[in-house]
Amino acid sequence: MTDDALGQLLERRVARDPSSVVTQDVVDAWTSAFGTDWPECVGDVVPSIMYVTFARPPVPPAPGEAAPTGVVLHDDLKTLLELPVAIAVGYELKLSGVVRIGDQLLSEERIAELGPERSTKFGPGRDWVIEVASSTTAGNLVGVERFRMLGYRPGDSGVAPPRTPQEPAIFAWTEDFTVTTESIRREAQANHVWASAHHHTEAAQKAGLSDIILDTSSQVARLAGAAQRHRPTDRIVSIDLAMKRSILPGATVTMGGTDAGHTTTVSAVVDGRETSRVTVTFAG
């Protein structure tokens, strides 16, 4: 890797081809997995947080082909830095407009941040942030995503993550759901997420995981959906998700929420330990 090559990559902007057309059947598959309680869904308007589904490939890769992440600069950065594995550790979404049946989306991505080399619990790696802004073909901004990623080379990191005891959280309300291998695959499919770590146990284990894991978009839909059910008439305008631990098949997840002003914070807890937390902001 040369500094020039890295500098050029950091300056690049990648405009994607128009997305697939927003269709009712894809919306129906998504709401079947994640519910219909979204107040913006009047007439032909689709759930706001699912627009990203249409920016991804609508079908899985052919046998033997690698699943594209859909984020070109992310894949190029992994290759240039020689970091074969990258996982999402956080995700932000700011919603700016509505998406309707029949729309198509145009997206542009950039590398917003790149951290220094460091040791991680998985092996040597680096952090980075990929930003993707999406608009309708009419030029109306729909939303901006920020993917907080950790890229690494699987191996002995020498880093022993501390396991500090957690005090039982006090929530205003809770909801539970059970995770299975089938539910992880079904929800990833509903989100058009085809990465092998969410579908194939062997591929997940090669990445240093014990089994397939619940994907980022499914966590967003699950946790934000719980927040939405407790504010049934308020519209979501932004989401900030932090992920601490993977959610695996066999887990019973407790979602616990607290409200403060225009925000609701929802934690996902498995066996008494927080796996992820989302802050959902609602319109005033």
> What domains does the chain contain, in order, with CATH numbers?
3-282 (3.10.129.10)
pLDDT single digits (tens) 75-125: 899 999 999 988 888 999 999 999 999 999 999 999 999 999 999 988 999
CA distance 236 to 228: 8
Going by C-alpha positions, the residue among 89, 84, 173 that lies closest to residue 127 is 89
Stretch among 208-212, 250-254, 255-259 having the lowest mean pLDDT: 208-212
* pLDDT (average), residues 221-229: 97
The reported pLDDT for the residue numbered 207 is 78
The reported pLDDT for the residue numbered 2 is 74
Q: Return mean pLDDT, the chain.
A: 92
Take residue 185 and report the two structure tokens written for it.
Answer: 């695959």
The reported pLDDT for the residue numbered 206 is 85
Burial class (CB in 10 A: 0-12, 13-18, 19+), 237: middle
* pLDDT (average), residues 35-50: 95
Is 129 a residue whose pLDDT tops 90? yes
The reported pLDDT for the residue numbered 210 is 94
| Residue type (1 letter), 80 | L
The reported pLDDT for the residue numbered 85 is 86
Band the pLDDT of 67: cuts 50, 70, 90: low
pLDDT single digits (tens) 226-250: 999 999 999 999 999 999 999 999 9
Is 48 a residue whose pLDDT tops 90? yes
CA torsion angle for 177, 264, 185, 209 (degrees, to 10)?
A: -90
Query: Count of CB atoms within 10 A of residue 202's CB?
Result: 8
What one-character-per-residue DSSP string does 87-143 give? Answer: EEEEEEEEE-S--BTT--EEEEEEEEEEPPPEE-SSSEEEEEEEEEEEEETTS-EEE
Q: pLDDT above 70 covers what percent of the chain? A: 94
- Cα angle: 134, vertex 76, 210; to 5 degrees: 95
Band the pLDDT of 70: cuts 50, 70, 90: low
